[in-house]
Amino acid sequence: MSAEPFTARNHELPILIQNLTKRFGDFTAVDNVSFNVQSGEVFGWLGPNGAGKTTTIRMLLGLIKPTSGNAFVLGFDSATQTKLVHANVGYMSQQFTLYSDLTAMQNIRFYGGVHGLSSDELRQRIAEIIRTAGLEGRENTLTGSLSGGWKQRLALGCAIVHHPKVVFLDEPTAGVDPISRRQFWELIYQMAKEGVTVLVTTHYMDEAELCQRVGFITGGKLVALDSVSQLKQTQMRGQVLEIGASDPEKAMRILKAAQLNGRIPFDEVALYGAQIHAVMPDAQKYKEAIQRLLMGEDVQVSSIERVAPTLEDVFISSVKAPAAIV
């Protein structure tokens, strides 16, 4: 431990990224990204596929070396103090391997063994994990016959068997139903309450709303970093208008045509169940025009009002040039 650089230990932040850049040949996967995560925070790391999310996590875990810049986990430099980082973090990805022919308890014991836990510690951790994951009565069930939600909570338990202070969750809830997802997030916040710092990636925007703070990355660049409620106020370029019409399919055809010929500057117009959602710079200004346009083609407009953007709206607005949206 004496070899640690003094400066590194000065950063007491669980996760600190400074001007992090990673290039693969000509391709810049992560482009000068800086942010930090506070102790006990649940941080959402969001972006489209190929935006640099996983590359960032891999650099934080020291699995690949940054081209330039630094990534620190608990003050340890991920690039040079990889072993110390690994000893103090938990990592659970979609591909996290549970051995389906071992029981739940044997899986925990296996991962405990990998992390070098003593048998006393292990006994205590097994009890804790079984309890928090709600696996009581299923300790001796073969993992292969557990349902998706159980498996996922068990995987989390295995990933944190060594009591890490920082946990990386890479799309942990893919393919899990909403009820199990809720239970999983309860676990995440339970960990956070105990002071564990959590960095989570997800494709579910409704799930991202559960994070205390989120960062959007696209094309390797950090484009937004704030709390969800703040982002909704600051990052949304357009406004969302919800239009209820007597014949939504026809209304959609009319509005699409209006978008194409430039009559109304929609960033996006799309059928949304029985309604139409339209995103545009100044909704108020065009409300009348839209109404008139539809009425003129014999489509009754039952409602037309601004709705609060969802995080997904904000996300798409942040990561995409408006014209590119279908």
Partner 1 sequence: MNQFAISAANLVKEFKVNKHVVTAVNGLSLQVAPGETFGLIGPDGAGKTTTTRVILGLLSRTSGESSVLGFDSMNDMYQIRERVGYIAQQFSLPPNLTVMENMLFFAGVHSVDAEEQKKRIPELLAFAGLSEFSNRLAGKLSGGMKKKLALACSLIHEPQVVMLDEPTLGVDPVSRREFWNLLGNLRAEKGLTIFICTPYMDEAERCTRVGLIYEGKLIVDDSPANIKRVIPGHLLEFTPSDFSSALKLCNEMNGVLEVQTYGEKLHVFVDDVLKCKTQIEDALASQGIAYDHLREIEVRMEEAFISLIRRQKESVEQNEMIGEVR
User: From the CB of residue 296, how many other CB atoms can be counted at a distance below 10 Å?
Assistant: 9
- At its nearest, how many Å lie between partner 1 and the CB of residue 116? 32
Q: Determine the Cα–Cα distance for residues 97 and 272; give it in Å rounded to an integer.
A: 38
Interacting span for partner 1 (CB under 8 A) from 14-22, 59-67, 71-79, 147-155: 147-155
Instruction: Check residue 180 for interaction with partner 1 (CB under 8 A).
Output: yes
3-state helix, strand, coil in the chain (%, to 5): 40, 25, 35
d(CA 163, CA 106): 18
Does residue 232 bind partner 1 (CB under 8 A)? no
Determine if 175 is a binding residue for partner 1 (CB under 8 A): yes
Nearer to partner 1, 24 or 189 (CB): 189
Of the candidate residues 189, 227, 300, 305, the single one contacting partner 1 (CB under 8 A):
189
By the rule CB under 8 A, 252 interacts with partner 1: yes
Q: Is 294 in the site for partner 1 (CB under 8 A)?
A: no
Longest CA–CA separation in the chain, Å: 79
Give least dist CB 270 to partner 1, A: 4
Whether 218 contacts 48, CB under 8 Å:
yes
Q: Nearest approach, Cβ of 148 to partner 1 (angstroms)? A: 5
Phi-psi region of 134 (alpha: psi -120 to 50; beta: other; left: phi over 0): left
The two beta strands, 268-272 and 275-280, are antiparallel
Chain positions contacting partner 1, by CB under 8 A: 42, 47-50, 147-149, 174-180, 182-183, 185-186, 188-190, 192-193, 203-206, 210-212, 248-250, 252-253, 256, 268, 270-274, 310, 312, 315-316, 319-320, 325-326
